[in-house]
Structure 1
Amino acid sequence: MRTHLPYKKTRKTVGASIVAIGLSAALCLPGCSTSDATSADTASVSGSSVSSDTTTASSDVVSAADIAGMDFEYTDRDQDSTYDEASATHVALSQSGSTVEGSGAVVDGSTVTITDEGTYIVSGELTDGQLVVETDDTVKVQIVFDGVTIHNEDGPAVYIKQTDKCFITLADGSKNTLTDGAEYVLEDDSDEPYATLFSREDLTINGSGALSVTSSYRHAVCSKDDLVITGGTYTVDAVEDGLRGRDCVKILDGTFSVVAGGDCIKSNKGTDEVRGFVSIDGGTFNLVAGDDGIQAVTYLRVTGGTVVIDAADDAMHSDLDALISGGDITINAGDDAVHAETSLAIDGGMIDIQSCYEGYEAEKLYINGGDTHIVASDDAINAAAAETPADKAAAEASSTSASDSAADGAATAEDPDAAGGEPPTGEGATTDGAAIADGEMPSGPDGADVATGEVPAMPEDGTAPTGEAPTGGMGPGGGSFGGSNEESSERMQNGGMPDNAFAEGGATMGDENCLIQITGGYTVLEADGDAVDSNGYVEITGGVLLVSGPTSGGDGAFDYDLSATITGGTVLMVGSTGMAQNFTSGEQPFSFNTISGSANQSVAITDEEGNVLVSYTPTKQFGMVLASSPAFEEGGTYQLVVGGAVSGANADGYTDAGAVSGGIATEITASTTATGGMGGLGRGGGGMPAGQGGDVQRGMR
């Protein structure tokens, strides 16, 4: 394989019509009815039922994309790789002169053109030539690759110009290879064609043979309509994108090894609410991407298959909604592991995110099932406000305006004398993003350097640095600094709080559109930043959530801006105390405690008889423990044991049964009323002076 240079492009922009859909979609906040959410779609795939595209009745996803209108089905012909060899037209490729036995195809030098409906069995080699399909747009064509090798130095090896739909069948046991040159001769007033296997029409590839596609110009396999794959073995090496379907990409089965300088699998139509989606329903994938592993404009859907992704940017990205309801997925990502701008639902599957910047990110994140493990260098799961093109345009305009002002000689912190002025001082002036009040730099929480965003290291015992816990009532048990990355730069410019934090009527920080809702599943999070981070609400009603949070004083295992409630499920979070938050309330009792432990020491909570109710072995040192269990009773007392040997625990140290021996035990109390920790700013809030609060973070969501 070639070593690809990083591929740069303008991306992640939603088309105007899709934005309108997203903005007009009803947003469901805690307490509102979700009965009108999109109903589940069930597509017949090889006689079986594909998983639903919405969550369980307890948590219906409110989607921006028109999921109900999307076609996730595979037709019988998509899956039918049979053909009648006797009645088919046979094409033997040869650089010295290709031959045709039968009707419907013509040879012109090194170009073979299929001109009529039918089945064509193609074999042989063109060292510099092309196979073209150009028929009436009402007919269908089946091409059987049975030992095909085609290289075209200045264009696609296979060019499907016009037909109703083209089926390429990979003959059993066959090996087929398509390659191109680094420069194309383009059509007049067009950027087309732009892929080694390029189709302007719907394209289905099936069969059990092998296909190798290498692109030296741009994309490897590209359809400007639907790209459907139901079988075969694929080796793809692309300068830009590997497998690309403008209207959609649907994959039922096959074995795929894709190395791409851009995205490995992509659908990019952003002008139709029922197109621009990617659906992975089966197959085995090894994807290495210079950009995103899998990228969709409207909807990214994984219901099955074995998927391994190593991506320089996001492993899976959707400009609107995404669903994982099945499959065995392993991810290493330079940025987000799974990112959806509006909603992301995890309904099933085995998801192992071994490394990433952030794990799951969406405006609304629903975890209803599945087995998730996330190791993140920043936030493990994050609910952050969706970015629309209008937001991006405004940001770009602001950036351009700022650049123009600086170019015109306006005074800046870097060059205060640019316009003959004085260094900026006073309220609102900034130096490296930090507010200066009367010429003095304010201190951040825990003695953090607000100008640089640095926070002091956590002591070895996992306890909070001296003076870091605020006083005053901002919520149950104390105050909250929130934890959203979006507001971080704004907070730093205001001594730790955004401008509107103390607007008339109380604190307003936080976004009511943002929600993390956990109704089921088994979720294990390890984060260097915030493990569970919502710019709005958190609701937990079921499932198992285990968290090994950060060791830094400026992050927390649990971080939300408005409220966090629990009515069911099993939770055990450990992390640093600097920004530690508790639940605000719940129907199920919970317990927050400042108890320290070292990395790889077990944490177990037992009842009075010594039965383990929940246990976990965190990978980091900690200074706090937040727990809740269906077995907790209001006002009940329990033993929290650190460092004991827990019988029957799994590889994560988790069990909700068995016993613990040894360790250091502390009596704790569970209640539905918060004591200890900090609550959210938006509910039961209050305020603190600028400079006392603020989660100093990394300036990103």
Structure 2
Amino acid sequence: MEGCAAVSTDAENSAASEQAAAASASDVEYASFEEVAATFDESALDLGYSKRDLDASHDASSATVITLSGDSASVQGAGAQASAAGAVISSAGTYIVSGELTDGQLLVDAGDDDKVQLVLAGATIHNEDAPAIYVRNADKCFVTLDAGTENNLSDGSSYALESDSDEPYATLFSRCDLTLNGSGTLNVTSAYRHAVCSKDDLVVVSGTYNISAVEDGLRGRDSVKVRDGVFTIQAGGDGIKSNKDDDPTKGFVSIDGGAFDIQAGDDAVQGKTLIRLAGGSLTVAANDDAFHSDLEMHLLGASIEASAGDDAFHAETKLTVDGGIVNVASCNEGYEAEKVYVNGGDTHIVASDDGVNASAADLSDDADADTVSSTLPNGGTPGAPGKGGGAATPDAGGQAPAGAQQSGQAPDAAAQQDGQAPGAAGVQQGGQAPDAAGAQQGGSAPEPPVGDNAGGAGGATDPRQQGGDPAAGGGVGQADNSCLIQINGGYLVVDSVGDAIDSNDNVEVTGGVLLVSGPTSDGDGAFDYDGSATISGGTVLMVGSTGMAQSFTGGTQAFAMTSASGEAGQSVCVVDGSGNVVASFTATKRFGMVLTSSPAFAEGGEYTLVIGGEIANANADGYTDSGAVSGGSETAITASCAASAGMGSAGGPGAAGGK
């Protein structure tokens, strides 16, 4: 997989990649998005930047100068003419634009092979009924933000559309490939629909952008690629979006760098085929998903702070985490896809339902219908004009919509009654058993089952395993053999109100560190799967409720599960026969069971579980795999590579929570 985007060596993207992409798009007709999905291959995408994309320089001595003044414009040089609406550019070249146009437009209407560079050098353009800048025709348009300048684009709330069309529909609207570069600042306020939109590829190389839009902030139909820049985006729809659905080489969002602050009424970032997060720093808050792809998602190296009204990272078919730092302060579900692969990275998830969920993909056209919100997560209003045409100022005292909590927000009082982690919503969502809320009101853990009532091979008490009444938390679980959670590396910490690790078929752990504070309700479990769960490497330490407790079904690395009660804030530690710490962490809520495995475990080995001790050299999560512990209550455990009856058994496949 590509860790950083390549730079083409010629003036534009390499001819070979362009021809390959064109051939794949033109030679094959796709009757449905399912057919697109079947042929999608991330390695076939053009993720690079051309030499000219990266070159923000211009020759002022040979450029045409366009000066805006009130309701008119003057032109010095060839290739452009003043018009009743502002100015029209009709041929290839470089055009330096400055001044203010109070109600007019800069129109690019050049030849099919023409490349046009617009250098915004202190330009302010407002158009009451159309785009401020409209690239109607060209081969490619480069908008360069001149160093040290601030530029402003804005529009009115209704457009005079072209005949028999819904176009144009953005304050900066391009029918051709559009590249934004330079080191200046661009403020875009869209009162009609989108802020910046290309019907082909949208590439952002550098610059500072303050964007407020009634609908989407940055939108490229074929793709959106960001190499660097500083972005503040408030969008009533999606913050960043690509939506082409009939070509497996298009419809993606790729972010290699930049600093982002996104607040979205729908998804913060949405891609049709792929979202690729390879670098940069993103702080996002969304009323729906923070990141949503209708096919795949790939995390390689970005630093992400996210809060979401629904899922934090949702990919329909495959979600791969190879690197990066992810901190999800609040969400419904954290990582969700049909197949979830965690190979690296540092992830913390606080979820009001499942932490990591594998459920069957939905590739129907209405799987993720667009929505537009008039209230952003921080209470601001998208599209409201800001000072100098910039981004809207959040309304003072605004309230976040239900289900969307802000990062750092104090948890609801009801959610704290038994040490529930901050950020988890007070109202529980997504198929939770009806008695779950009541189960969390008490200050002590429920009495753990033992012997034949443990929910294991000796006799399951979970009504979902016995064909119980679905209204009582029942419904017989059925595995979907397409679903998989595979943890091969990385550092993953999950705090969930629902199931922490939930697969509608299999779970495989081969490496990494997995730390879980699972649910307190007996209608959910720290570990939930419908097929099998195996372990062959890595460190696992899970705590949660007992009613649906499941262990591993087997593997090549020994594991142990036992009844053990503790409270929020207490350490959970496993030590070997010499008193050395094998694994530890700090629970964020009360619990009645512990499931653990470590590369240090031997088949049949005897270990000690210590609750509430003082652990030396632990990190902020209370984790270490070395050192010593003092104090605390002790429980003897035996590790094995096979599930055993009673509390240490697999618990039997339960009904995974699903979507």
TM-score, normalised on structure 2? 0.82
1:461 matched residue in structure 2:
444
1:660 matched residue in structure 2:
629
Match of 1:378 among 348, 353, 364: 353
Whether 1:321 and 2:290 are equivalent positions in the alignment is no
Q: For the residues of structure 2 that align with 1:391 and 1:200, how far apart are their CA atoms?
A: 26
Whether 1:539 and 2:508 are equivalent positions in the alignment is yes
- The SS at the match of 1:565 is strand
Change (3 A) 1:372 1:224: same
Q: CA deviation at 1:294?
A: 0.1
Amino acid at match of 2:123: V
Q: How many residues align?
A: 565
- The SS at the match of 2:82 is strand
Q: CA deviation at 1:630?
A: 0.3
Q: For the residues of structure 2 that align with 1:264 and 1:192, how far apart are their CA atoms?
A: 20
- The SS at the match of 1:274 is coil
Alignment of 1:544-693 (within 5 A): 544-675=513-644, 676-677=647-648, 679=650
Amino acid at match of 1:298: T
- The SS at the match of 1:348 is coil
Tell me the alpha carbon deviations over residues 451-481 of structure 1, each in whole angstroms, 9 at most, x when there is no partner: 98334515533234779985786xx565485
Match of 1:515 among 484, 487, 495: 484
Q: CA deviation at 1:677?
A: 4.7
Q: For the residues of structure 2 that align with 1:255 and 1:495, how far apart are their CA atoms?
A: 47
Whether 1:243 and 2:218 are equivalent positions in the alignment is yes
Greater Cα offset, 254-263 or 663-672: 663-672
Change (3 A) 1:96 1:315: closer
Q: For the residues of structure 2 that align with 1:319 and 1:641, how far apart are their CA atoms?
A: 44
Q: For the residues of structure 1 that align with 2:313 and 2:568, how far apart are their CA atoms?
A: 27
- The SS at the match of 1:77 is helix
Tell me the alpha carbon deviations over residues 574-619 of structure 1, each in whole angstroms, 9 at most, x when there is no partner: 0110111000001000010100011110011111111101000010
1:26 matched residue in structure 2:
none
Change (3 A) 1:472 1:564: closer
Greater Cα offset, 599-608 or 673-682: 673-682
Tell me the alpha carbon deviations over residues 96-133 of structure 1, each in whole angstroms, 9 at most, x when there is no partner: 53111110001112320100110011101100000000
Tell me the alpha carbon deviations over residues 335-387 of structure 1, each in whole angstroms, 9 at most, x when there is no partner: 00000000000110000000001100000000000000000011011001111
Change (3 A) 1:372 1:138: same
- The SS at the match of 1:657 is coil
Amino acid at match of 1:214: T
Q: For the residues of structure 2 that align with 1:350 and 1:480, how far apart are their CA atoms?
A: 39
Change (3 A) 1:477 1:344: farther
- The SS at the match of 1:231 is coil
Q: For the residues of structure 1 that align with 2:213 and 2:636, how far apart are their CA atoms?
A: 60
Q: CA deviation at 1:329?
A: 0.3
Alignment of 1:343-382 (within 5 A): 343-382=318-357
CA contact (8 A) 2:433 2:472 kept: no
Match of 1:298 among 273, 278, 294: 273
Q: For the residues of structure 2 that align with 1:45 and 1:242, how far apart are their CA atoms?
A: 26
Amino acid at match of 1:664: S
1:261 matched residue in structure 2:
236
Amino acid at match of 2:179: T
Q: For the residues of structure 1 that align with 2:528 and 2:629, how far apart are their CA atoms?
A: 30
Q: For the residues of structure 2 that align with 1:494 and 1:457, how far apart are their CA atoms?
A: 14
Q: CA deviation at 1:673?
A: 1.2
Q: For the residues of structure 1 that align with 2:347 and 2:473, how far apart are their CA atoms?
A: 37
Q: For the residues of structure 2 that align with 1:138 and 1:303, how far apart are their CA atoms?
A: 32
1:43 matched residue in structure 2:
5
Change (3 A) 1:159 1:463: same
Tell me the alpha carbon deviations over residues 412-460 of structure 1, each in whole angstroms, 9 at most, x when there is no partner: xxxxxxxxxxxxxxxxxxxxxxxxxxxxxxxxxxxxxx99833451553
Q: For the residues of structure 2 that align with 1:483 and 1:159, how far apart are their CA atoms?
A: 58
Q: For the residues of structure 2 that align with 1:74 and 1:640, how far apart are their CA atoms?
A: 54
Tell me the alpha carbon deviations over residues 622-668 of structure 1, each in whole angstroms, 9 at most, x when there is no partner: 10000000000010001111110000000000000110011111111
Whether 1:136 and 2:114 are equivalent positions in the alignment is no
Q: For the residues of structure 1 that align with 2:175 and 2:234, how far apart are their CA atoms?
A: 23
The percentage of aligned residue pairs carrying the same residue is 56
1:75 matched residue in structure 2:
50
Whether 1:497 and 2:466 are equivalent positions in the alignment is no
Change (3 A) 1:46 1:392: closer
CA contact (8 A) 2:519 2:545 kept: yes
Q: CA deviation at 1:302?
A: 0.2
Q: CA deviation at 1:149?
A: 0.2
CA contact (8 A) 2:183 2:208 kept: yes
1:109 matched residue in structure 2:
84
Tell me the alpha carbon deviations over residues 227-257 of structure 1, each in whole angstroms, 9 at most, x when there is no partner: 0000000000000000000000000000000
CA contact (8 A) 2:483 2:505 kept: yes
CA contact (8 A) 1:464 1:578 kept: no
Alignment of 1:63-212 (within 5 A): 65-212=40-187
Q: For the residues of structure 1 that align with 2:634 and 2:145, how far apart are their CA atoms?
A: 64
Tell me the alpha carbon deviations over residues 304-335 of structure 1, each in whole angstroms, 9 at most, x when there is no partner: 00000000000000000000111110001000
CA contact (8 A) 2:8 2:48 kept: no
TM-score, normalised on structure 1? 0.77
- The SS at the match of 1:516 is strand
Amino acid at match of 1:325: L
Q: CA RMSD in A?
A: 2.6
Q: For the residues of structure 1 that align with 2:359 and 2:336, how far apart are their CA atoms?
A: 7
Alignment of 1:228-239 (within 5 A): 228-239=203-214
Amino acid at match of 2:650: G
Q: For the residues of structure 2 that align with 1:316 and 1:337, how far apart are their CA atoms?
A: 6
Change (3 A) 1:139 1:392: closer
Q: For the residues of structure 1 that align with 2:328 and 2:458, how far apart are their CA atoms?
A: 34
CA contact (8 A) 2:126 2:132 kept: yes
Amino acid at match of 2:628: A
Give the gaps of 5 or more residues in structure 1.
Answer: 1-38, 48-61, 394-449, 502-508, 683-692
Change (3 A) 1:480 1:167: farther
CA contact (8 A) 1:464 1:576 kept: no
Q: For the residues of structure 1 that align with 2:565 and 2:39, how far apart are their CA atoms?
A: 43
1:419 matched residue in structure 2:
none
Change (3 A) 1:481 1:679: farther
CA contact (8 A) 1:481 1:681 kept: no
CA contact (8 A) 1:218 1:241 kept: yes
Tell me the alpha carbon deviations over residues 199-239 of structure 1, each in whole angstroms, 9 at most, x when there is no partner: 00000000000000000000000000000000000000000
Tell me the alpha carbon deviations over residues 533-560 of structure 1, each in whole angstroms, 9 at most, x when there is no partner: 0011000000000000110110111111
CA contact (8 A) 1:247 1:276 kept: yes
- The SS at the match of 2:43 is helix
- The SS at the match of 1:578 is coil
Tell me the alpha carbon deviations over residues 497-528 of structure 1, each in whole angstroms, 9 at most, x when there is no partner: 34xx6xxxxxxx11010000000000000000
CA contact (8 A) 2:432 2:498 kept: no
Amino acid at match of 1:679: A
Q: For the residues of structure 2 that align with 1:604 and 1:466, how far apart are their CA atoms?
A: 22
- The SS at the match of 2:591 is coil
